[in-house]
Amino acid sequence: MAESLRLDKFLWFARIVKTRGLAQQLAEDGRIRLSGRVIARSHAPVKIGDVLSFAVHGRVRVIRIEAIPARRGPPAEARALYSELPDTPLTSGGSQD
């Protein structure tokens, strides 16, 4: 199994995005952080242990890569490729108590 994979392929294989084109656009727009660094290229390599963070559906999604896939498999197989870390709501500041 490979030690790393292109960011866009990982996002597509892991079924985080519906198409590889969407994954490429997300990366090229600078909307993804890879272990804290803003990524602006879809071919950036990702490996096991890397943490990805990106905004989606009104919240910041943070995932840790647990495995590098060889293909785009079924949803259950894709879900095993990463673990979710606590998410952060996108707010303009202040407390919502």
pLDDT tens per residue across span 3-13: 999 999 999 99
pTM: 0.83
Task: Give the CATH number for residue 45.
Answer: 3.10.290.10
pLDDT tens per residue across span 63-90: 999 999 999 999 999 999 999 998 655 5
- Please check whether residue 75 lies inside any domain of the structure: yes
What is the 3 state secondary structure string of the chain? CCCEEEHHHHHHHCCCCCCHHHHHHHHHCCCEEECCEEECCCCCEEECCCEEEEEECCEEEEEEECCCCCCCCCHHHHHCCEEEEEEEECCCCCCCC
Number of domains in the chain: 1
